[in-house]
């Protein structure tokens, strides 16, 4: 992941512009003052990978002078991946005001990758802005309204990778709007990121069936619906969809995929474009004609598709 540093330490008392050569490519910002100090010294011009942890920081970021090198921006509101372990910075959701300011900004012309936590209205405000036009990768934690907004976002035409993290977004209508979007013409990879917790599952049975019947994404080659425990019948319906032949990689681990799903995969056999299927390790023991790339290993899956 590379080096992450906190400006409160590096740019504290006694720090000067002479430290510019020590500024790493990835920087974590916890306060508005830290960001303004970094921009004022010109050191922000060396940063390509930025983590922002407060809404005031986001508003300030929208008007920085030296953000032209920033390619990847994370706005999740947590200072570390272990934020539940006694960390003093609380997780935030981006405010509508901050989202609108960032969306309208011209300060980050090189931005291609964004990770964000946003409810429907702030996400809609962000997606309406020019800043999303250059995005290639987007990872978003949102709700059903946010999922629907993604499907309607006309500025996401360059997007190739989209990961959606669960937050009460089990809405078949919202998912249908997303997977049938006419704006996501270049989308290559779509991941619905869930876990084994029922509260953290991005998809339910109706949403899976909406994908099966409504997906119209011509460039899609990788689909991951893993950890959405919907059962064998719903997963089999997904695998039986006519668009499955355009995929190269499919993630269906811990969806409840069983005999019917595996039989449906075998029916497609060598006629499908699928080269990698990520399934439960138990299911991976079954020999399926034409699927030498059947995986039961999540690390191999992440390495295969090149994104988390």
Q: Say what the pLDDT of residue 254 is.
A: 84
14-29 confidence digits (pLDDT tens) = 333 334 456 678 899 9
State percent of the chain over pLDDT 70. 73
Higher-pLDDT residue of 295 and 15 is 295
Strand partners, 73: 50, 114
Mean pLDDT of the chain: 81
Identify the pLDDT of residue 289: 52
The pLDDT, as a whole number, for residue 2 is 37
Q: Which of 132-136, 165-169, 229-233, 248-252 is predicted most confidently?
A: 132-136
Whole-Å CA distances, 105 to 45, 60, 199: 16, 10, 35
231 pLDDT exceeds 50?
yes
* pLDDT(286) > 90: no
Query: How would you classify the pairing of strands 161-165 and 189-193?
Result: parallel
Q: What's the topology of domain 136-308?
A: 3.80.10
Give the Cα separation of 221 and 305 in Å (integer): 10
pLDDT tens-place string over residues 52-110: 988 999 999 999 999 999 999 998 755 444 433 333 334 678 999 999 999 999 999 99
User: Are 50 and 69 within 8 A, CB to CB?
Assistant: no
Rounded to the nearest 5 degrees, what angle is found at the Cα of 304, between the Cα atoms of 300 and 155? 135
pLDDT of residue 171 exceeding 50, the answer is yes
Q: Are strands 276-278 and 249-251 parallel, antiparallel or unpaired?
A: parallel
Q: Tell me the per-residue pLDDT of 125-169, one tens digit each, with 9 for 90 and over.
A: 999 999 999 999 999 988 999 999 999 999 999 999 999 986 665
Q: What pTM does this model have?
A: 0.85
Q: What is the pLDDT of residue 308?
A: 43
Domain boundaries, the chain: 1-11+23-106, 136-308
Other CB atoms within 10 A of residue 45 CB: 17
pLDDT value, residue 298: 63
């Amino acid at each position: 992941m590379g080096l992450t540093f906190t400006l409160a330490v590096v740019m504290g008392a006694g720090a000067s512009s002479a430290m510019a050569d020590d500024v790493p490519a990835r920087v974590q910002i916890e306060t508005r003052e830290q960001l303004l100090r970094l921009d004022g010294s010109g050191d922000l011009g060396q940063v390509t990978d930025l983590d922002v942890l407060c809404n005031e920081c986001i508003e300030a970021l929208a008007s920085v002078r030296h953000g032209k090198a920033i390619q990847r921006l994370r706005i999740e509101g947590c200072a570390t991946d272990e934020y539940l372990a006694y960390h003093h910075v609380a997780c935030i959701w981006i405010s509508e005001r901050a989202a609108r300011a960032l969306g309208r900004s011209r300060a980050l012309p090189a931005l291609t990758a964004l990770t964000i936590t946003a409810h429907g209205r702030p996400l809609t405000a962000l997606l309406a802005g020019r800043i999303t036009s250059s995005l290639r990768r987007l990872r978003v934690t949102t709700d059903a309204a946010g999922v629907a907004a993604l499907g309607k976002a006309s500025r996401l035409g360059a997007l190739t990778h989209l990961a959606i993290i669960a937050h009460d977004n089990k809405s078949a209508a919202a998912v249908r709007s997303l997977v049938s979007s006419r704006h996501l013409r270049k989308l290559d990879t779509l991941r619905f990121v869930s876990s084994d917790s029922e509260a953290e599952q991005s998809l339910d049975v109706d949403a899976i069936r909406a994908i099966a019947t409504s997906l119209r994404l011509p460039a899609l080659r990788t689909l991951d619906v893993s950890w959405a425990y919907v059962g064998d019948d719903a997963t089999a319906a997904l695998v039986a969809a006519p668009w499955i032949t355009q995929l190269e990689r499919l993630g269906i681990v811990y969806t409840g995929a069983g005999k019917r799903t595996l039989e449906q995969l075998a029916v497609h056999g060598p006629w499908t474009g699928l080269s990698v299927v990520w399934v439960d390790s138990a299911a991976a023991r079954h020999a399926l004609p034409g699927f030498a790339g059947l995986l039961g290993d999540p690390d191999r899956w992440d390495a295969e598709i090149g994104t988390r």
